[in-house]
């Protein structure tokens, strides 16, 4: 097979039947030269030099001379590289197939399984919040907050393209990073809300303590007014002579 015609003035180099010599000759050859390769099997490790110099490889016949690319075999696809009377073996590192977006059955099965687990987990969280409200261990205000979060997770678990829409709106390439940022934002808002509530409760407890102390003081004053001390009553009953 000929990739491009060779010129009559091209330099021809006889390659010795040795593996290192084959790749060394590629490095030492002049651009446009022809390498005559004896029968045998050779591993091509200098594909880049082969492309840069637009060399021609000539073997002793198909099936007799075999050249095996150590990479993906891109050198033999270069229009400047030609070869004849030899067999190109299977590349040792084939090119990875281009992902068409269809996906295989294994990845689809894993994705479906993860989606089912996410739906079950979010439903469990939703039911757990309802149970806490029923037992009066969680007030309605916080129950509404957690139920909204669980509902949002349920929507994302069912609508798989939702994460892609969110990451595109946020300008993030990886959907996982978008999830982490959203989770961090929600956690920050919850902590801020709890801090505000805790501060308000602390202030109210302080005011209540002051009011209780004031009521206790007024109660003592009323008791003293209605029930004077016993010593004063005795002095009133037995005045001094």
In this predicted model, which residue has the larger pLDDT, 99 or 72? 72
Helix (H) or strand (E) holding 208: helix 175-226
Parallel, antiparallel, or unpaired: how do β-strands 56-58 and 34-36 relate? Answer: parallel
DSSP character at residue 182: H
In this predicted model, which residue has the larger pLDDT, 70 or 103? 70
Query: What is the DSSP secondary-structure string of 36-96?
Result: E--SEEEEE--HHHHHHHT-EEE-SSBTTEEEEESSSSGGGGSTT-EEESSEE---SSPPP
Cα separation, 35 vs 82, whole angstroms: 11
Predicted confidence band at 229 (pLDDT cuts at 50, 70, 90)?
low
Cα separation, 193 vs 90, whole angstroms: 64
Per residue in 146-202, pLDDT tens?
A: 888 888 877 877 777 777 787 788 888 777 777 788 778 878 888 888 888 889 889
Asked if the model's pLDDT at residue 8 lies above 80, the reply is no
| Domain range list for the chain | 12-88, 110-160, 161-236
Helix (H) or strand (E) holding 32: none
Q: Which of 6, 41, 44 is nearest to 25 (CA)?
A: 44
State the pLDDT at residue 208.
92
Query: What is the DSSP secondary-structure string of 90-115?
Result: --SSPPPPPP-S---HHHHHHHHHHH
Whole-model pTM: value is 0.40
State the pLDDT at residue 207.
92
State the pLDDT at residue 230.
55
Per residue in 99-152, pLDDT tens?
A: 544 444 444 444 678 778 878 888 888 888 888 888 888 887 778 888 888 888
CB 65 within 8 A of CB 38: yes
Residues in the chain: 241
């Amino acid at each position: 097979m000929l990739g491009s015609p060779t010129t009559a003035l091209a330099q021809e180099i006889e390659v010795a039947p040795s593996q290192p010599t084959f790749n060394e000759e590629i490095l030492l050859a002049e651009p446009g030269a022809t390498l005559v390769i004896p029968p045998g099997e050779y591993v091509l490790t200098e594909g880049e030099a082969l492309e840069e110099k637009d060399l021609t490889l000539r073997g002793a016949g198909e099936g007799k001379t075999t050249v095996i690319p150590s990479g993906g075999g891109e050198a033999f696809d270069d229009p400047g590289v030609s070869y004849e009377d030899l067999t190109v073996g299977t590349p040792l590192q084939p090119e990875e197939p281009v992902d068409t977006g269809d996906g295989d059955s294994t990845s689809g099965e894993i994705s479906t399984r993860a989606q089912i687990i996410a739906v079950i987990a979010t439903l469990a969280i939703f039911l757990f919040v309802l149970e806490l409200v029923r037992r009066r261990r969680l007030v309605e205000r916080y129950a509404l907050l957690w139920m909204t979060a669980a509902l949002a997770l349920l929507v994302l678990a069912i609508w798989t393209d939702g994460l892609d829409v969110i990451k595109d709106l946020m300008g993030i390439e990886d959907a996982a990073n978008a999830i982490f940022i959203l989770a961090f934002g929600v956690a920050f808002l919850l902590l801020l809300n709890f801090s505000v509530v805790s501060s308000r409760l602390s202030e109210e407890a302080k005011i209540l303590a002051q009011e209780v102390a004031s009521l206790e003081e007024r109660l003592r004053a009323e008791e003293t007014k209605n029930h004077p001390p016993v010593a004063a009553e005795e002095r009133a009953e037995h005045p001094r002579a």
